[in-house]
Amino acid sequence: MRAYLVVFGVALGVTYLLGVVARELALRFDAVAPVRDRDVHAVPIPYFGGVAMLGGLLGAFVVATRLPFLARSYDVVLAEALPVLLGGAVICIVGVVDDLFELDAMSKLAGQVLAAAIVVAMGVQIVYLPLSGNTFGIDPIQSVLLTVFMIVLTANAVNFVDGLAAGVVAIGAVAFFIFAFLLAVKNGETHAVAAAFLTAALAGVCIGILPHNFFPARMFIGDSGSMLIGFVLACSAISLTGQFAAGSSTQGINGQASLLTVYLPLFLPFTMLLVPFVDLLMAVVRRTRAGRSPFSPDKMHLHHRLLEIGHSHRRAVLVMYMLAGLVAFGSVVISLFAGLWSYVAFGSLAAVTAVAVFWLPRWRRTPT
């Protein structure tokens, strides 16, 4: 565990320090987000947060090669993480070019597929699918197509989250780290698994960029950052699916069978994005019923509604983080600790979140 804390701390520190340099580079190359009518920021904000985050991931990897706990397991940890970092560098470069020149959708997709292909070619791919406690092997072509599809889908899903991406992925990465680490303990592994290393580093870079990115933001992570962290998150999940022997991860920590334990590595990247996706779905339905284009902007999104009931901008963002945390940590708790207490823990998380959403605005309005 101490090695993972070191990885987390290095990723956080390097990302935070490089954020200053990346911001100056973005200003020099005029890579800035213009102000639009529906935006919260009032002045152009520089991009290139993703460049700092890539530096944090690379710094964490270099330090990890010097940590005995991780270095001793190089073949199953760092050797599997290296392709992810190489592919991440490619997708980050694609994002930088997009932040500078606004690539068309097909060019951006081609870059994402190239980055995913690098990871697959170096051996990180889905080799079997869990089905009701058993496993279903897939042939090499299916494996390549499914892996590339999942990576590209996750990268674009996180890119859609936009301004919330760093915070939401940080929460999901911490939840995924806990899941991967405890699953390794349960399976009698050395606790050194590639998914745990990647999610520890990913959480570090996401938290390290938040001082620059949190409202009011001095820097945006841009497509270079959002696609990078989505890419690493997807690869972490794919790495975990092949870490243990077929069928070994079908039981929770307390020994009770749990199908969620089997499926969570594949679904967690999407469950933690459930809140913004539901917000998008409601927006499409709302606009379509009103006879408007589903892509037309409005001010009825979830964060707008939180502002209306009395939350500040900062607290509205924190509440949305809490909602994402409820889904991510709730999924992990229920999957690993099947039984009554897992549902009690999830209910407690839900109650705390509900209090934050509905009671805090009233408390702030109460006269002293």
Three-class secondary structure assignment of 281-349: HHHHHHHHHCCCCCCCCCCCCHHHHHHHCCCCHHHHHHHHHHHHHHHHHHHHHHHHCCCHHHHHHHHHH
Q: What is the pLDDT of residue 186?
A: 72
143-180 per-position pLDDT tens digit? 899 999 989 988 888 887 767 889 989 998 998 898 88
Residue 199 Cα distances to 14, 193, 303, angstroms: 16, 10, 27
- pLDDT of 247 higher than 70: no
Distances (CA, A) of 57 to 48, 62, 287: 15, 9, 40
**Tokens standing for 219?**
């820097």
Report pLDDT digits (tens) over 53-64. 999 999 999 999
Tens-digit pLDDT profile for residues 112-140: 999 999 999 998 888 776 655 555 667 88
Mean pLDDT, rounded, of the chain? 81
Res. 256: pLDDT tops 60: no
Give the span between the Cα atoms of 163 and 2, in whole angstroms: 31
Produce one character per residue of 112-148: b if its CB has 16 or more CB atoms within 10 Å, e if not.
beebbbbbbeeebbbbebbeeeebeebeeeebbebbb
Q: Could you report how far apart the first and last alpha carbons of the chain are, in Å?
A: 46
Distance CA 35, CA 48 (A): 17
Give residue 246's pLDDT.
46
Report the distance separating Cα 279 and Cα 273, nearest Å.
10
Contact yes or no for 214/14 (Cβ under 8 A): no
pLDDT at 120: 94
Could you tell me if 180 and 31 are in contact, meaning their C-beta atoms sit under 8 angstroms apart? no
Any idea how long the chain is? 368
H-run or E-run covering 244: none
Lowest mean pLDDT among 33-37, 227-231, 348-352, 355-359: 33-37
Greater confidence (94 vs 157) lies with 94
| Count of other CB atoms within 10 angstroms of residue 319 | 20
**pTM as predicted:** 0.85
Q: Where are the domains of the chain?
A: 2-277
- The predicted structure's pLDDT at residue 363: 66
What pLDDT digit, counting tens, does each position of 303-345 carry?
Answer: 667 777 777 778 888 888 888 888 888 878 777 776 677 778 8
- Burial (Cβ within 10 Å: 0-12, 13-18, ≥19) of residue 240: buried
Q: What's residue 336's pLDDT?
A: 73
**Cα-flanking dihedrals φ and ψ of residue 151, to 5°?**
-65, -45
pLDDT digits (tens, 9 = 90+) for 12-40: 999 999 999 999 998 888 888 776 555 55
Residue with tokens 């069928």: 247
CB atoms within 10 A of CB 222: 30
Tokens linked to 343: 């549902």
pLDDT of 298: 62
Distances, alpha carbon 271 to alpha carbons 5, 178, 236, 255, in Å: 25, 16, 15, 24
